[in-house]
Chains A and B, each alone.
Chain A
Amino acid sequence: MAASKKLMSVKRDWRERDVRVVLSALIIAVATVATIALFASQLQRTLVSSASSFLAADRQLEAENGRPIPESWMQEAEQRGLGTARMVEFSTMVYGAGNFQLVSVKAVNDHYPLRGEVEYQQGTDEPRQTVAHGPAPGEVWLNPRLLRLLELGIGDSLEVGNHELTISGLLVREPDGGFRMSSLAPRVMMHVDDVAATDVIQEGSRVEYVYLFAGEEAALNDYYRWLQPQLEPSHEWEGVRDGETFSRSLDRAERFLLLGGSLAVMLAAVAVAVASRQYALSQRDTVALLKTLGVSSQGIGRLYLRRLALWGIVGAIGGLVVALPLYWLLSSVLGDVLGRQIDYQFDPNALAPALLTALVSLFAFAYPPIRRLRNVPAMRVLRSQPGESGREAIPDLVIAVVAIFGLVWLYAREVSLVLSLLGGLALLLGTLALLGWLMVTTLRRISGGGNAWRLALVGLYRHRRASLSQIAVFAMTLMLAATLILVRTSLLDDWQAQLPEDTPNHFLINIAPQAVDEVDEFWAERGHPLEQLYPMVRGRLTELNGQPVKEAVTKEERVGALNRELNLTWMEELPDDNGIVAGEWFSEGQTDGVSIESELAGKLGVEVGDELGFTIGSEKVTETVTSIRTVQWDSMKPNFYMAFPPGGGLENMPATWITAFYLPADMKGQLNDFSRRFPTVSVLEIDHVIERIQEIVQQVTQAIEAILALILAAALVVMAAVVSATMQDRQREGALLRTLGGRQSLLVRSTMLEFALLGFFAGVLGVAAAEGAVWALQFRMFEGEFRWHWQAILPIPLISALVLALFGRWQLKPVLSVSPMLLLRRLE
């Protein structure tokens, strides 16, 4: 290989410590950003499709007026290339083997489901199967509990209205089951073609026609734009983004991933900047020699530019090589957890931020010091020249700060994120300036001596510029890592608090007032006490301040809650997870007033003091809003838009009671006893939904932890970069000290102490800045409550002191193991 080409070879570069650090930092940055971007887009797709399967489609159109929609609407959808399916839902009595039972029927056509899968068994002891269709005409699938209740078996007949159907399977799980309050009774699934023969649907029956649509997002939106003007109030168009139970959790997970990515970028940028500055310093002799041999400044510039470009290519390829298997791994674990095939859509757009990161890291952080190599005087070959004053580095710093925040903003698109981190950094640098001043004024008085503490303090003072910049970089690194750890911890705590192990997984609905005590007793005896029982009255919100509500609210603001009957309740005490945001909760003995949920109030423009009119059956009830409260919709407990006080306008209305409770999987048999004793009470089983959410949360947690590991790796690279930056000087000093008769043990102790002090200061600063940033982030991005993290605050400075002491010890190794003479020669 030609010598000048060899000067450019990456293989040769790799042998240099500083280049290794730059390349590792680049690879980690690209890998982290690429993994996060790929995984986030995969997560997004998977979760949207998983959420889609809660609808069994991408969109649903429900007709609650008991009439099918015009056929032309479906034809239009099909012409637009959308997949369609239809189903009919109604409640009826079924008869089999001498038993009657109220059931909730879902009749589906051949295309159901468009998304997700139906899980069924061909017999009680047969394995579960997942299929993408419902029962064939003439057949019916039953909820397993219903089969036992009716004392029927596979192959028996079931009468639905006037039609007899053959039981061919047990319905274990339907992709769109579980969340609809209207499907209260045990489920029966049949084919839509059999519905007419049952004669169940008569004029005025309570029937819901549901239409399913699936296809490209754009086509769906176009179709909706076409459809919207023709919809009536009783038509409800539902997309996956509305009504997702766990969207808030996912939203936060996504934000966390973005935060992680941004921090990775910042860490990598710091590492690249430190290492490339060090690299540039080490290249000055080579540049001087090349100039002496006749290479021009432009030649030098080109040489190093080409080298940077080469590093960029290696960093980008290396990063992707690391990222792709990691992404594959994370996604396949995700697939396992969700129990289905992941479609690996390699999204090239997701790679753009990673490559941009490589490019910006190189050109904003690595290039400026390397560019200045052109100015190294040739005269340096004869005599060392004064180094950089540091003033030249100021424009670099400005470019770097702008680039870092530009990158973070571009990546996370969150002004608050950028500002939080910027604030944390400003806090850090301000404190650092103070610390620097303190160091100079107090340490100056300490004189050297044979004591390790003194030597360490003198060392800190003597290297104060290097020490301060090291503390700055360590503290910054620790701040970024600590921010991530703190946010992760509070995120996970939050999720755990949201869906604890004993989250209610069964609802009991339709409990007659006189049966309330008995039902309560039944479960208390079996060791599964019920959560709070709530009365429930169905009614519509019809008037707002004396005006019909549909006139009072413009069409754009029209909300789903207005189109259907609401569950109204009365309660004495505010549930723990509700919070009053305006007005006051009912005082004792108060019987007038109503409390409205805050989001609905916002959409309707309702404030405390407004008058709401409800139609309940044939009665009208009018109440003044006395409070507005927040509701945790994803708490898996009964939640209500409207709450009245006890003894208020609702008390005389026909009410049934509702409650939720936790029933472990192995106790599900008790539900049969319950249904036999209380045949009119509906049991809503949402245990599989909760399981699924918990699985997804667990998966996302794993992803977050993987990302955290990557970030911590980046942090270590930064530390290595900074320590290695002063390695040679310190080794030379150590060798000299030994030559001059310093004992090894003294050298070891004073160096470790010096680094421990550095680490401790950096730790304190980093954690303080992290707390500041987390406070801001928590406040702005995660809507959580800020808590001090004492457990995290105490160990981090100690751990960082320990780690740095060990780093210091490790870098002393060559000084101790080799004769000072040899070392001094080697460092020459």
Chain B
Amino acid sequence: MSDLSDHKPDSQRPMLKVSNLTHRVSLETDTLTILQGVSLEINRGESVAIVGRSGSGKTTLLGLLAGLDTPSDGTVELDGAVISQLSEDERAKLRSRRVGFVFQSFQLLPALTALENVMLPLELGGFDSPKAKARELLERVGLGERLYHTPRQLSGGEQQRVAIARAFASEPAILFADEPTGNLDNRTGADVSDLLMALNREQGTTLVMVTHDERLAARCGRHFNIEAGILTEPSAAAQPEAVN
């Protein structure tokens, strides 16, 4: 296996290529199919929303796309690497260099300050001067005054901004967002999504977001619907104009 962190991205190749992805889980009595025959291609710099109701399989799909889990069938090719052929540790290595995450429940480490939470992926990825970079990003998301606060001392919106700063810190090639505004009120949610879109544009990151919020989905370049594990892409005419 080649060293993935040195893998040269090929600008011609799609950032994410999924073919015939199926995922099943075994229950005590029978097997449940969560995803069935999902195929899609996402190009570099694109922003994509996957919209579906609770239980439609969208979170499972996100996990598989990001390499947090491996599918029962089918392949996921992330930046040229076939995820299902990688070991857990190789996938971890791939994530540390190429992938960023924003979660619905923020997932900040409660014992670390805002600054330290942002520094963490930089240190783990072996980046230079993590502290300066983390400070710069926190200033960018408007939390320059709250560097030394712990998550408990921050509001939900502020915590999500720290999480966004952390996600962009390692300049990932692709960012996965799971209901990033799901735990926030409308107004704060709108602020957070503005920030997410803006940073995404500035860094030219590929964005894959799952949400049930149609308005948030409308801000992405393309969107897919998912229902009962089957992914559909509305016709090009039905695609929203990317809202800037």
Known contacts: A6-B112, A379-B68. The answer to whether A294 contacts B103 by CB under 8 A is: no
Q: Does B69 contact A (CB under 8 A)?
A: yes
Selected from A4, A6, A382, the residue in CB contact (under 8 A) with B59 is A382
The verdict on A286 contacting chain B, using a C-beta distance below 8 Å, is yes
Note all chain A residues with C-beta closer than 8 A to B120: 3-4, 7, 293
Chain B positions 116 through 152: 1 when the CB is less than 8 Å from some CB of chain A, otherwise 0: 1101110111000010000000000000000000000
Which of B59, B60, B68, B94 gathers most chain A CB within 10 Å?
B68
Residues of A within 8 A of B119 (CB): 2-3
Q: How far is the CB of A18 from chain B (nearest CB, A)?
A: 13
B68 touching A382, Cβ below 8 Å: yes
The answer for the CA separation of A378 and B116 in the assembled complex, in Å, is 21
With A292-B101, A295-B124 already in contact, the answer to whether A382 and B178 are too (CB < 8 A) is yes
With a 10 A CB-CB cut-off, give which of A3, A6, A12 has the most chain B CB atoms.
A3
Task: A558 to B68: give the CA distance in the assembly, Å.
Answer: 81
Query: What CA separation (Å) do A293 and B92 show in the bound complex?
Result: 7
Interface residues of B in 68-114 (CB under 8 A from A): 68-69, 88-89, 92-97, 101, 103, 107, 109, 111-112
Partner of A377, one of B69, B89, B96: B69
**Is the beta-carbon distance between A294 and B95 smaller than 8 angstroms?**
yes
Distance to closest chain B CB from A447 (angstroms): 28
Please give me the residue from chain A that is nearest to B122 by CB atom: A3
The answer to the question of B240 belonging to the interface, with a C-beta cut-off of 8 Å to chain A, is: no
Chain A residues near B125 (CB, 8 Å)?
294
B228 at the interface (CB under 8 A from A): no
Tell me if B63 and A293 are in contact (CB < 8 A).
no
A381 on interface, CB distance cutoff 8 Å: yes
* B103 to A, closest residue via Cβ: A381
A378 x B92 contact (CB < 8 A): yes
CA of A784 to CA of B105, assembled, Å: 64
Is A298 part of the contact surface with B, judged by Cβ < 8 Å? yes
Q: Between A and B, how many residue pairs show CB distances below 8 Å?
A: 83
Whether B93 lies near A296 (C-beta < 8 A) is: yes
A592 to B202, CA, bound (A): 117
Complex-state Cα separation, A296 to B89, whole angstroms: 5
Does residue B195 face the partner (Cβ distance < 8 Å to A)?
no
Q: Does A291 contact B (CB under 8 A)?
A: yes
Closest to A286 in B: B109
In the bound complex, CA of A381 to CA of B105 (Å): 9
- Contacts known (A4-B120, A294-B92); A377 close to B97, Cβ less than 8 A: no
User: B62 an interface residue at 8 Å Cβ cutoff?
Assistant: yes
Which residues of B lie under 8 Å from residue A2 when comparing CB positions?
Answer: 119, 123, 130
State whether the Cβ of A49 lies closer than 8 Å to any Cβ in chain B: no
What is the CB-to-nearest-CB distance from B68 to chain A, in angstroms, rounded to a whole number?
A: 4
* Total number of A residues with any Cβ neighbor in B under 8 Å: 27
Whether A381 pairs with B89 at a CB distance below 8 angstroms is: no
Chain B residue nearest to A5 in the complex (CB): B123
* Set B88, B93, B96, B123: member contacting A3, Cβ < 8 A: B123
Residues of A within 8 A of B69 (CB): 377-379
Complex Cα spacing A299 to B95, Å: 14
Q: Which of A163-204 contact B (CB under 8 A)?
A: none
Contacts A286-B109, A293-B96, A382-B68; is A6 near B101 (CB within 8 Å)?
no
Q: From DSSP, what is the main secondary structure of chain A's interface residues?
A: helix
Contact A294/B97 with A2-B123, A15-B111 known, Cβ cut-off 8 Å: yes
In the assembly, what is the distance between CA of A446 and CA of B76, in Å?
A: 53
Q: How far in angstroms is the closest Cβ of chain A from B65?
A: 11
Identity of the chain A residue whose Cβ is nearest the Cβ of B116 in the assembled complex:
A3
Determine chain B's interface SS by DSSP, over half rule. helix
Are A4 and B123 in contact, CB atoms less than 8 angstroms apart? Answer: yes
Contact residues in A for B95 (Cβ distance below 8 Å): 292-294
Separation of A4 and B63 alpha carbons in the complex (Å):
25
Q: Within the complex, what minimum Cβ distance (angstroms) separates A306 from chain B?
A: 15
Whether B112 contacts A289 by the Cβ 8 Å rule is no
Contact yes or no, A3 B178, CB < 8 A? no
| B124 and A6 contacting across the interface, CB-CB below 8 Å | no
Are A382 and B121 closer than 8 Å at their CB atoms? Answer: no
Q: Is B89 in contact with A3, judged by CB distance below 8 angstroms? A: no
Interface string of B39-79 (1 = CB under 8 A from A): 00000000000000000000110110010110000000000
Is the beta-carbon distance between A291 and B123 smaller than 8 angstroms?
A: no
A137 → chain B closest CB, angstroms: 80
Which residues of A sit under 8 angstroms from B130, Cβ to Cβ?
2-3
Which A residues lie within 8 Å of B94 (CB)? 294
Q: Is the CB of B92 within 8 A of A291?
A: yes
B42 to chain A, nearest CB (A): 19
Give, as a whole number of angstroms, the nearest-CB distance from A357 to chain B.
29
In the complex, are the beta carbons of A292 and B68 less than 8 A apart? Answer: yes
Judged by a CB distance under 8 angstroms, whether A572 is at the interface is no
Complex: chain B residue closest to A298, CB-CB: B89
Are A293 and B124 neighbours in the complex by a CB distance under 8 Å?
yes
Report the minimum CB–CB distance from A287 to chain B (whole Å). Answer: 11
Contact status of A294 and B111, CB under 8 A, knowing A378-B68, A378-B69:
no
Assess the B109–A7 pair: CB atoms within 8 A: yes
A285 at interface, CB cutoff 8 A: yes
Q: State whether the Cβ of A92 lies closer than 8 Å to any Cβ in chain B.
A: no
Per the bound structure, the CA–CA distance linking A15 and B110 in Å amounts to 11
Contacting residues of chain A (1-49) with chain B, CB-CB under 8 angstroms: 2-4, 6-7, 12, 15-16
Question: Interface centre among A16, A296, A297, A382, by most B CB within 10 Å?
Answer: A382
Contact B92 A295, beta carbon cutoff 8 Å: yes
Alpha-carbon distance between A7 and B63 when the two chains are bound, in angstroms: 26
Interface: A225 (CB within 8 A): no
In the complex with contacts A286-B109, A298-B89, A378-B68, A293-B121 CB distance below 8 A: yes
The answer to whether the Cβ of A383 comes within 8 Å of any Cβ in the partner chain is yes
Least distance between A212 CB and chain B CB atoms (Å): 67
- Asked if B124 contacts A296 (CB within 8 A), the reply is no
* Residue from the set B62, B88, B103 with the largest chain A CB neighbour count within 10 Å: B88
Minimum CB–CB distance from B191 to chain A (whole Å) comes to 21
CB-defined interface of A275-291 with B at 8 Å, one 1/0 digit per residue? 00000000001100111
Min distance, Cβ A434 to any Cβ of chain B, angstroms: 29
Q: A379–B116 contact, CB under 8 A?
A: no
User: CA–CA, A31 to B199, complex, Å?
Assistant: 55
Residue of B nearest to A377 (CB): B69
- Kindly list chain A residues whose C-beta atoms are within 8 Å of the C-beta of B115: 3
Q: Which residues of A in the span 362-405 have a Cβ within 8 Å of any Cβ on B?
A: 377-379, 381-383
A728 to chain B, nearest CB (A): 13
User: How far, in Å, is B236 (CB) from chain A's closest CB?
Assistant: 30
Q: How far is the CA of A383 from the CA of B123 in the complex (A)?
A: 26
CB distance from B32 to the nearest CB of A (A): 14
| Whole-angstrom distance between the Cβ of B239 and the nearest chain A Cβ | 26
Question: In whole angstroms, how far apart are the Cα atoms of A100 and B130 in the complex?
Answer: 101
Question: How far apart are A294's CB and chain B's nearest CB, in angstroms?
Answer: 2
Residue of B nearest to A12 (CB): B111
Tell me the bound Cα distance from A377 to B178 in angstroms.
Answer: 17
Report B205 CB to chain A, min CB distance, Å.
16
Check B89–A7 contact: CB distance below 8 A: no
Known contacts A294-B97, A296-B92; decide if A377 and B68 are in contact (CB<8 Å): yes
- A289 partner residues in chain B, CB cutoff 8 A: 107, 109
Residue of A nearest to B97 (CB): A294
Could you tell me the distance between the alpha carbons of A291 and B96 in the complex, rounded to whole angstroms? 9
Please report the C-alpha to C-alpha distance between residue A2 and residue B119 in the assembled complex, in whole angstroms.
Answer: 8
> Can you name 22 A-B residue pairings with CB atoms under 8 Å?
A2-B119, A3-B120, A6-B112, A7-B109, A7-B112, A12-B111, A15-B111, A292-B66, A293-B120, A294-B95, A294-B97, A295-B124, A297-B92, A378-B68, A378-B69, A379-B68, A379-B69, A381-B68, A381-B107, A382-B62, A382-B103, A383-B60
Ranked nearest first, the 10 interchain pairs of A and B with the lowest CB-CB distance are A294-B96, A3-B116, A296-B89, A3-B119, A378-B68, A3-B120, A379-B69, A294-B95, A379-B68, A4-B123
- Where the two chains meet, the residues of A that have a C-beta atom closer than 8 Å to any C-beta of B are 2-4, 6-7, 12, 15-16, 285-286, 289-299, 377-379, 381-383
Given contacts A293-B124, A383-B59, 19 further A-B contacts (CB under 8 A): A3-B117, A3-B120, A4-B124, A6-B111, A6-B112, A289-B109, A293-B96, A294-B95, A298-B89, A377-B68, A378-B68, A378-B88, A379-B68, A381-B68, A381-B101, A381-B107, A382-B59, A382-B63, A383-B60
